[in-house]
Amino acid sequence: MIGIFGIILSLALLMYLAYRGWSVIILAPLLSLLAVIFAGFAGEDVHLLATYTERFMVSLAGYVKSYFPVFLLGALFGKVMDDTGAAKSIATVISEKVGKGKEIWAVVLSCAVITYGGVSLFVAAFAIYPIGAALFKKADIPKRLLPPAIALGAFTFTMTAVPGTPQIQNAIPMKFFETDLFAAPILGIVATAIMMFGGVFWLNSRAKKARAMGEGYGDHADSHLHGEDKDKLPSFGASILPILVVLIGNFVFTKFVFAHTDAAYLEEQYNTTLGAVLGNWSLITALICGVLLAIVLNLKRFEKGVMTTIKEGVQGSFLAVMNTASEVGYGNVIKSLGAFALVAAFMTDVSSNPLVGEAISSSVLAGITGSASGGLSIALETFGETFLQRAMDSGISPEVLHRVAAIACGGLDTLPHNGAVITLLGITGMTHKECYVNIGMCTVVIPTIAVIVIILLGTVGIV
């Protein structure tokens, strides 16, 4: 019991201190070692320095090795799209086309388009917020519904469910199941529809209720916002083309280019297979093409210069990957403790259906780490082979495992201590008290419903 108490205390402190603004890079190793100390009180043989250097840091380094190129290129792409005004151009056109009375749809779709194209959710929040604030203020929709709308468009279906999305959460399962970003497209589309329409329905019902009670946009200090002169923005065509290149390029590289490559040398020299690296290679190549095209099309729009944008994008990727890698290191230390065996036994044996156990482990570990990608990595590294074998024995496709794992990690990840939630509230100038109930409904409750539905469909063979 002392060991379990240590894990709970460590996790509670991680949530609370991260919520208070402490750096996860500092918190993760310290609090993982706190749990180790309690394990020592419970009679386990513990070695703090060895745990830090040989377990925490090894796990951290392994995550960086596997996913840093995706973080780097994603950050570069997002920074280029942001600095050149391409992201704002796309959002502006969508908001105009959607029309009056559909402001919530405009915000959600704007976020969805640019994040599906590979732009990070943080860039989406920064880019869409000024436009969304202007739309909500003009329509007199409560500002407290703006962060949930941004979260719905950026943190949910385009992060985990839409087939082909280049976000890291959809990339991680590839090396464990030898799948690609387009795995289980029918299940992905079903989950997308549940999350998108369910979330918008919820937010529209909240807006309607607020309107009936006489609540409007509210008195907020939005003076720091400044409108973007449309004439200074790149055209919609030039803005959307790099995104299309990433999406279409990824499909072409996955299905037609690398898939037909003679890769026997991978097993002989690198101890891996083409299936294990195919998805990652395709995504990296497509992102490179997207970044280069975005730079070429907007060469004259870099106010600070191309090299400054590239430098800032590279620097931004360091913080993003290290935050997540630190959470992975934390989770791997926790999973090495004897008390975690009880949690692991529950997650693997809770159901004879491997999809249920996989969904629970992916979601719970994402909640523990406060990171969808971090929790997913730990879940698949710990239980991936077990779930794959059970799925094969049950006649369930690895593609279904991929899609369920990806979507499930996007449930409990956005608990109040989640870094993306805290950042979003900071950007919009709102608080957890004002917004989190609706954020939680759109990013935790409805995605969990989507997971349940696709588990039922995947179990009967729908892919």
**pLDDT (tens digit per residue) in 257-296:** 998 888 889 999 999 989 888 888 998 999 999 999 999 9
CA-CA-CA-CA torsion sign (19, 22, 28, 34)? negative
Give one DSSP letter per residue of 87-111, joined into a string: HHHHHHHHHHHH-TT-HHHHHHHHH
Out of 51-55, 218-222, 299-303, 375-379, the most confident range is 51-55
Which value, in Å, is the radius of gyration of the alpha carbons in the chain? Answer: 22
pLDDT band at 224 (very low <50, low <70, confident <90, very high): very low
pLDDT at 227: 52
pLDDT at 223: 42
Determine the average pLDDT of the residues in 393-399.
95
Residue 462 corresponds to which amino acid? I
**pLDDT (tens digit per residue) in 293-339:** 999 999 999 988 999 999 998 998 888 788 888 888 998 899 899 98
CB-CB contact of 181 with 165 (8 Å): yes
CB-CB contact of 424 with 376 (8 Å): no
pLDDT band at 347 (very low <50, low <70, confident <90, very high): confident
Residue 394: which of 340, 309, 455, 326 has the closest Cα? Answer: 455
Please determine, for residue 380, whether its predicted confidence score (pLDDT) is greater than 50: yes
213 three-state secondary structure: coil
**pLDDT (tens digit per residue) in 3-54:** 889 998 998 898 788 777 788 889 999 999 999 999 999 899 999 999 999 9
pLDDT band at 81 (very low <50, low <70, confident <90, very high): confident
Instruction: Please provide the average confidence, as pLDDT, over all residues in the chain.
Output: 90
CB-CB contact of 375 with 366 (8 Å): yes
d(CA 219, CA 229): 25
pLDDT at 418: 81
CB-CB contact of 397 with 178 (8 Å): no
Residue 91: which of 107, 105, 69, 76 has the closest Cα? Answer: 107
Task: Kindly state the DSSP code that residue 176 receives in the 8-state scheme.
Answer: H
What proportion of the chain, given as a percentage, has pLDDT over 90?
56
Please determine, for residue 102, whether its predicted confidence score (pLDDT) is greater than 90: yes
Out of 172-186, 324-338, 359-373, 410-424, the most confident range is 172-186
Query: Which pair of structure tokens corresponds to residue 78?
Result: 């997002």
d(CA 116, CA 77): 12
Query: Which pair of structure tokens corresponds to residue 216?
Result: 């409007």
pTM (predicted TM-score): 0.84
Task: Kindly state the DSSP code that residue 233 receives in the 8-state scheme.
Answer: S
For the ranges 45-54, 124-133, 353-362, the lowest mean pLDDT is seen at 124-133
Residue 332: which of 321, 340, 343 has the closest Cα? Answer: 340
